[in-house]
Amino acid sequence: MNMQYTTETSELLSEAKKSVLFTAELPSVVMERGEGMFLWDTKGKRYLDFIGGWAVTCLGHSPTILQDALHQQASTLVNCSPSFFNKPMIEFASLLTQVSCYDRVFFTSTGAEANEGAIKLARKHGSINLGGAYEIITVINGFHGRTLAMMSATGKKHWEKLFAPKVSGFRHVPLNDIPSALAAVNPNTCAIMLELVQGEGGVHAADPEYVYQLRKACDAHGLMLIFDEIQTGIGRTGKLFAYEHYGIEADVMTLGKGLGGGFPLSAMLTKEPFNLFEPGDQGGTYSG
């Protein structure tokens, strides 16, 4: 039986090398199923999973509650398109506004997509309220996703020349450096965006005084403050959202990863004064 599993795995790996686009060196195992905190490969070997699907399987692998929810919804309605409201959309948006300080929710599929929505909203704010301001201040070694614009927003040194030319309009400053952040504000600035705890940057937390000064500067200049809580949201820091540790609210917050428990789901949340999109400004096939 083990020989059968070994042969199957070898065939799958051979096929993967021929048909799956190369983006990274992956180990020579093929995962087949998961339960709780464990994964099993096609040879039947069990692994204690410390990766969690890159921090998405917050309830473990294949929890019954997620199976039941997916089965129930798949047998009721899969996609009526974003041209209509649907019941789960309304119920979940209502829940998120009840448990957070935000008033409106826009659903997307990935964290990068939610962050793209936040950047669009920030530039809409700049266009309407700040005389056409479009620049967003972000943090060195922050991480906001892998779309072209989010790679531009992300302050990674080794990404600077990758896929050039980048999307312009981002100014990067050091984390917890208040003078640098304040000095970066100029007439073209429309927003400041940061993770309250950097993820890929090395798990560095923003200092409370730093966050306070950013909020103060945004209030003084009419800028939008954006918290990227793709990784820190949904209980990862001991509170439902990391901003609760600071007692400071951003104008916009993005969520992902644990929001769907392993299912691709993300969201951009905003306060009512920034409910600025007009028909045609924002959308997406899976944004409902």
- Domain range spanning residue 10? 2-50
Q: What residues act catalytically?
A: 143, 228, 257
Please state the rounded mean pLDDT for residues 256-270.
96
Average pLDDT, the chain: 95
Question: How does residue 3 score in pLDDT terms, banded at 50, 70 and 90?
Answer: low
Q: Using alpha carbons, select from 138, 99, 71 the residue that is nearest to residue 259.
A: 99
Residue 185 included in any domain = yes
- Is residue 1 predicted with pLDDT exceeding 60? no
Each as own residue / partner, the long-range contacts of residues 153-159 (CB below 8 Å, 24 or more positions apart, any chain) are: 153/115, 153/119, 153/193, 156/200
pLDDT score of 7? 86
The CATH number for 213's domain is 3.40.640.10
For residues 98 and 188, state if they share a domain: yes
Q: How many domains does the chain have?
A: 2
Residue 9 included in any domain = yes
Q: How far is 121 from 105, CA to CA, in rounded Å?
A: 12
For residues 138 and 46, state if they share a domain: no
For residues 109 and 212, state if they share a domain: yes
For residues 184 and 88, state if they share a domain: yes
For residues 29 and 90, state if they share a domain: no
Residue 127 included in any domain = yes
For residues 204 and 256, state if they share a domain: yes
Please state the rounded mean pLDDT for residues 46-72.
96
For residues 237 and 98, state if they share a domain: yes
Question: Phi/psi of residue 80, each to 5°?
Answer: -95, 5
For residues 224 and 93, state if they share a domain: yes
